[in-house]
Structure 1
């Protein structure tokens, strides 16, 4: 990789790996009770989240001094930071530790994620699995790569009863949860989810599963994975079929390996029968 954008992709990947090595992995299964706190009802945060975001944010500002950084923990401390995404400035989205509840409980998976936004568009994305040291990267229009090797989602039309995917049901409205539950018998395997959006997106890119449905769509949780899936040949849309925009704040997202899978899952689980 010789062009400046490719060099930036490499530098950010190295930065995420450094944050994982310095702030996350040493704390895994070594957290004291005082290292974990509740930032919202049912939402935990750890010292590893804060330290990793500090490392990543400082590194990104060194790489791109003109850019804004919108980190999950920064927004938790000051929700007004989220407004930076709607402005004209180049902005980074950072999830320093996706799957914090897993991490705090000494479980996998968890991930480190980042995305670069320019002019209202996600231009580049990174998802790091720190435990396996696997790095997925994508640039808009340039494809998706796992540790430097091009990856593609399946392009096959798969019958509903052969599909495998996730419905993250925790935040689903009651009516929608009932509809999905009713339709689950039409799908081969419906999984409850791994409490780590980064892993769900990675599993679609890796063809371990073909779809995922989310209700809560915080931008740092989904902008990186959305670009990666789309760059690999997949489809990411709102539940009504409209385009996904990380900034619009609406709930509901259906991610699929290809157009046919999206249509099949939507008909089976989301359409009114």
Structure 2
């Protein structure tokens, strides 16, 4: 974009529209995702970029349903689902100039979903010129959702009408930190170097599911996340939710996260002091682009 964005932008979706978006996601989960969980035939699954990068009939059907519903409700918005980008990568180039964009992953954690592991979710972000303004991470199994917008704190809401605020963990020294570092998603050329720093931490245990990784951090159950790629359907909603839960969210090479950015590494930490400690540990990645393709 050639023009400078204002410090604040009008809220892109009202509370009523946020509720409608949630209804769309829950309906897609009930109709297209849950009936196929642990019921997929071999013909319902295919690979994309490599053997662990899977897509199922559930992903495709849910994305089609969500896309149609969003297009009806927001006819002037840019609608980007993960599988649409697989067919047309140029869609990502439109995010930076879109005053209103919906970016979503119909099933985040497709590998888990395909293998009957109940660690998957639906991620949706609303962005303005790449800046996340609304984020929703839905767990179809529990029927609950982490949600935030850029004006309100993050909360976890349940279908029974109850909710509770989300709060990041307290900062800690490096050796006491637990986090998510998806070593398998970095290129082979980077893995050995990254592996040498992992013993510095208490634990690093990626879940193969960005949805639940971000939810764990926002709830204070896990401390940090270092991304291997910047696919916006994986990170735009979670970055906002964690930020509104009190985390420090910043690109490793400095500056705020943007869904329009395609290279680099996002680092999420409980606070600025812990973020600085982590940035020193991962400093060797500075200047490196996204080093792998994220199997989901």
Q: Normalising to structure 1: TM-score of the pair?
A: 0.91
Which one of 200, 214, 217 corresponds to residue 186 of structure 1?
200
Q: Give the deviation of 1:168 after TM superposition.
A: 0.6
Distance 2:78 2:282 in 1: 39
Q: CA RMSD in A?
A: 1.8
Correspondence for 1:247: 260
Which one of 100, 112, 130 corresponds to residue 102 of structure 1?
112
Task: Confirm whether residue 44 of structure 1 aligns to residue 54 of structure 2.
Answer: yes
Task: Confirm whether residue 128 of structure 1 aligns to residue 138 of structure 2.
Answer: yes
Residue correspondence of structure 1 range 1-273 to structure 2 within 5 A: 5-42=14-51, 43-147=53-157, 148-154=163-169, 156-173=170-187, 176-191=190-205, 193-270=206-283
Correspondence for 2:9: none
- Tell me, yes or no, if the aligned pair for 1:179 and 1:270 is still in contact at 8 Å: no
Q: Give the deviation of 1:157 after TM superposition.
A: 2.8
Please give the secondary structure, in 1, of the residue aligned with 2:183. Answer: coil
Q: Give the deviation of 1:82 after TM superposition.
A: 2.2
Q: Give the deviation of 1:45 after TM superposition.
A: 0.4
Q: Give the deviation of 1:269 after TM superposition.
A: 4.3
Distance 2:260 2:247 in 1: 20
Q: Give the deviation of 1:77 after TM superposition.
A: 1.6
Q: Give the deviation of 1:271 after TM superposition.
A: 5.4
- Tell me, yes or no, if the aligned pair for 2:78 and 2:98 is still in contact at 8 Å: no
**Unpaired segments of 5 or more residues in structure 1?**
none
- Tell me, yes or no, if the aligned pair for 1:176 and 1:270 is still in contact at 8 Å: no
- Tell me, yes or no, if the aligned pair for 1:184 and 1:269 is still in contact at 8 Å: no
Distance 1:32 1:119 in 2: 40
Please give the secondary structure, in 1, of the residue aligned with 2:277. Answer: helix
Q: Normalising to structure 2: TM-score of the pair?
A: 0.84
Number of aligned residues:
267
- Tell me, yes or no, if the aligned pair for 1:97 and 1:111 is still in contact at 8 Å: yes
**Unpaired segments of 5 or more residues in structure 2?**
1-12, 158-162, 286-296
Please give the secondary structure, in 1, of the residue aligned with 2:180. Answer: strand
